[in-house]
Structure 1
Amino acid sequence: MIHSKSNILLIYTGGTIGMVKDFKTNALKAFDFKTLLDKIPELQLLDCNIETVSFKEPIDSSNMSPKYWVQIAEVIENSYDDFDGFVVLHGSDTMSYTASALSFMLENLKKPVVFTGSQLPIGDLRTDAKENLITSIQVASLQKDNKPIIQEVCLYFEYKLYRGNRTTKMNAEHFEAFASPNYNELAVSGVHLKVNKKYLFKPDVDKPLQVHKYLDNNIALIKLFPGITKAVIQNVFETPDLKAVILETYGAGNCTTERWFINLLKEKISCGIHIINITQCLGGSVMMGHYETSNWLKKIGVISGKDLTTEAAVTKVMYLLGQNISTENFKSTYEMSLRGEMT
């Protein structure tokens, strides 16, 4: 593996990784990333130049929204020709949503965009922030024949690099906070950094980067549960300007077969609302028609989310609604893998 000197842009949006503890007061305060090399001298061992940029007002990731996704995309767009890779520092709570969104927004991406964060602040004695940050920068700087090895949006956390739109946060306390239940790791960090090349996304080499900045969030997410009432579901569908609903169903895409439920979905589909079926299960895929309890969904035209994570399902529908795809083509486009987000 040939690794030549790279220029890396570090983008700080907010989150625990950007906090340090004031040991006099025990209070957390924002970290000045301009002093990054002073605070983490190990970064000087990496054969790359590191520049930093920060949100004017860093945010807690619980406040993340599409307008901030656009800001991140614009930083990458405006700096794209000057840097070989990008590392985005982000709070862990909504990191999988942001990584998924950016994967759709950055079409024909040919450079690494690595999301990372931490469970403990960078100045904490037992912090995971340093390792996550150092290895993310190393991953973003990997090159072969002067070309980036990673050419997609990914997420690095606790010794593993994942495809961003395949991840979900699955633990609020452990350092191993993320999982990619339906896709293999892109790389594993141990004594050596091992890249699983056969799992890497391969973009179209002939097309330039295209940044999509319009996302339509007139959508809803309904998690089915035994006993959910008609009134609850009907109220969701009566939301003004609603364009799409994601249903989190049971198992391989199964749901109640009560007539009121099927008739309601059929009526809303005929009105032009897109209904997408994803599974509540952490792993596995929707297979409509495999069981009788999902056969009706297939017959009335519900869209299969296959093995999408909830995060990818949500951001993909926002992205596609923003592309003004015709109702006739929306289903086939959604069921197609665009950035390696589904099998």
Structure 2
Amino acid sequence: MKTKPSILLIYTGGTIGMIRDSETGSLRVFDFKNLLDKIPELQQLKCDVKSISFIKPIDSSNMNPNHWIQIAEIIESHYNIFDGFVILHGSDTMSYTSSALSFMLENLAKPVIFTGSQLPIGDLRTDAKENLITAVELASLYKDGKPVITEVCLYFEYKLYRANRTTKINAENFEAFASSNYPELAESGVHLKINYPYLWKSNVTDPLKVHKTLNTNIALIKLFPGITEVFLKTMLNTPQLKGVILETFGAGNCMTESWFINLLKETILNGIHIINITQCIAGKVNMGQYETSSQLKEIGVISGKDMTTESAICKLMHLLSAEISHESFKTMYEMSLRGELL
């Protein structure tokens, strides 16, 4: 290992990379080449920090799989040069992007930490500095000559989470994210408290493999009382549709009307995968626990278990692009690939 770990900051866009013009009051993109001038605290960390930015930073609401691939390619091309990566990203879709990267980066043996902020980096009460400094510190942590973090994470407001376990829950508070079904990996206070038992154990010896294809021919359908057959049939008959995330009630429950079950069964027989995800913030799908979910299990609906919707969507895009037989898809989807489910 080098004397000092080297960390690459990748700025994609978002509030954290903005600074307020002192004369006009308007926000403009921060020049990360002058990062140490604006955030001298970074010099106190025992690491070397370099930065790279998207040529045209984008608002996270405009993030799409092509941008996810761009981020993955930057990590791939710099993987052997840097010891860790911190990705600066708008908070609105950060859980989607970070979940996607967790599946795209196979055999990852270095930290990839997403962070952002609710206020611009130059504002008086900004959360940007703390989020950025601590994310860099976490990415540079080593123990016994090996990186402590070897997975894709998300750091926000004093907590480090497994990225594919997160959901944005608040648009105004600094505590914007939650990981309801998995404990935080670390907590920042007077000291950094690392929850070692919950970290992803990376024992890989194979080189990093970056998956750069994602199948976006999917649909997200949230059930609600009164959903009609016409609406659902229209959604399920979308041309080129390959997979559906079905957000159900409670522990994976749904209505038992014959038209509904028959429509889902017909869709599955036509080769379209249907994934059952709960609408609840916490908890998991347990098909067969109640009569209102037993029929879903019988017709071949796939259990999303305790995955977040964001992670379920990204995993579906990832697996649909892989060379997996239709028969093996269910087994693969219900298996934990990157710690996204229990």
1:203 CA drift (Å): 2.4
1:257 CA drift (Å): 0.3
Give the 3-state SS of the residue equivalent to 1:68 in structure 2. Answer: helix
2:149 corresponds to 1:150:
yes
Matched residue, 2:206: 207
Matched residue, 1:250: 249
| 5+ residue gaps, structure 1 | none
2:112 corresponds to 1:113:
yes
Matched residue, 1:297: 296
Give the 3-state SS of the residue equivalent to 1:265 in structure 2. Answer: helix
- Structure 2: distance between partners of 1:233 and 1:124: 46
- Please tell me whether the aligned partners of residues 16 and 91 of structure 1 are also in contact (alpha carbons under 8 angstroms): yes
- Structure 1: distance between partners of 2:270 and 2:291: 25
Residue type at the aligned position of 1:284: G
Give the 3-state SS of the residue equivalent to 1:88 in structure 2. Answer: strand
Q: Report the number of matched residues.
A: 342
Task: Map Cα deviations across residues 199-249 of structure 1 (whole Å, 9 max, x no partner).
Answer: 000123222211100000000000000001111111111111000000000
- Structure 1: distance between partners of 2:33 and 2:98: 24
Task: Map Cα deviations across residues 169-220 of structure 1 (whole Å, 9 max, x no partner).
Answer: 0000000000000000000000000110100001232222111000000000
Give the 3-state SS of the residue equivalent to 1:330 in structure 2. Answer: helix
Give the 3-state SS of the residue equivalent to 2:205 in structure 1. Answer: coil
- Structure 2: distance between partners of 1:36 and 1:341: 34
Residue type at the aligned position of 1:167: T
Give the 3-state SS of the residue equivalent to 1:252 in structure 2. Answer: coil
- Structure 2: distance between partners of 1:3 and 1:268: 54
1:4 CA drift (Å): 5.5
Task: Map Cα deviations across residues 300-330 of structure 1 (whole Å, 9 max, x no partner).
Answer: 0000000000000000000000102110000
Matched residue, 1:308: 307
Relative to structure 1, is the Cα distance of residues 323 and 272 closer, same or farther in structure 2, using a 3 angstrom cutoff?
Answer: same
Q: Within 5 A, what are the aligned runs for 1:8-157?
A: 8-157=7-156
- Please tell me whether the aligned partners of residues 61 and 91 of structure 1 are also in contact (alpha carbons under 8 angstroms): yes
Residue type at the aligned position of 1:92: S
Residue type at the aligned position of 2:9: L
Give the 3-state SS of the residue equivalent to 1:62 in structure 2. Answer: helix
RMSD: 1.1
Q: Within 5 A, what are the aligned runs for 1:263-302?
A: 263-302=262-301
Give the 3-state SS of the residue equivalent to 2:307 in structure 1. Answer: coil
Matched residue, 1:186: 185
1:3 CA drift (Å): 11
- Structure 2: distance between partners of 1:140 and 1:3: 14
- Please tell me whether the aligned partners of residues 8 and 141 of structure 1 are also in contact (alpha carbons under 8 angstroms): yes
1:131 CA drift (Å): 0.1
- Structure 1: distance between partners of 2:32 and 2:53: 8
- Structure 2: distance between partners of 1:325 and 1:246: 18
2:316 corresponds to 1:330:
no
Task: Map Cα deviations across residues 142-184 of structure 1 (whole Å, 9 max, x no partner).
Answer: 0112211100000000000000000000000000000000000
Residue type at the aligned position of 2:272: I
Give the 3-state SS of the residue equivalent to 2:253 in structure 1. Answer: coil
- Structure 2: distance between partners of 1:291 and 1:68: 41
Give the 3-state SS of the residue equivalent to 1:131 in structure 2. Answer: helix
Residue type at the aligned position of 1:255: C
Give the 3-state SS of the residue equivalent to 2:77 in structure 1. Answer: helix
Residue type at the aligned position of 1:190: G
Question: TM-score, length-normalised on structure 2?
Answer: 0.99
Structure 1 segments of 4+ aligned residues over 4 angstroms from their partners:
none
Relative to structure 1, is the Cα distance of residues 172 and 3 closer, same or farther in structure 2, using a 3 angstrom cutoff?
Answer: farther
Taking every aligned residue pair, what percent have the same amino acid on both sides? 70
Task: Map Cα deviations across residues 242-296 of structure 1 (whole Å, 9 max, x no partner).
Answer: 0000000000000000100000000010000000000000000000000000000
- Structure 2: distance between partners of 1:315 and 1:67: 13
- Structure 1: distance between partners of 2:294 and 2:234: 25
Residue type at the aligned position of 2:171: A
Residue type at the aligned position of 1:227: G
- Please tell me whether the aligned partners of residues 3 and 142 of structure 1 are also in contact (alpha carbons under 8 angstroms): no
Give the 3-state SS of the residue equivalent to 1:114 in structure 2. Answer: strand
Residue type at the aligned position of 2:28: K
Question: TM-score, length-normalised on structure 1?
Answer: 0.99
Q: Within 5 A, what are the aligned runs for 1:193-232?
A: 193-232=192-231
- Please tell me whether the aligned partners of residues 161 and 185 of structure 1 are also in contact (alpha carbons under 8 angstroms): yes
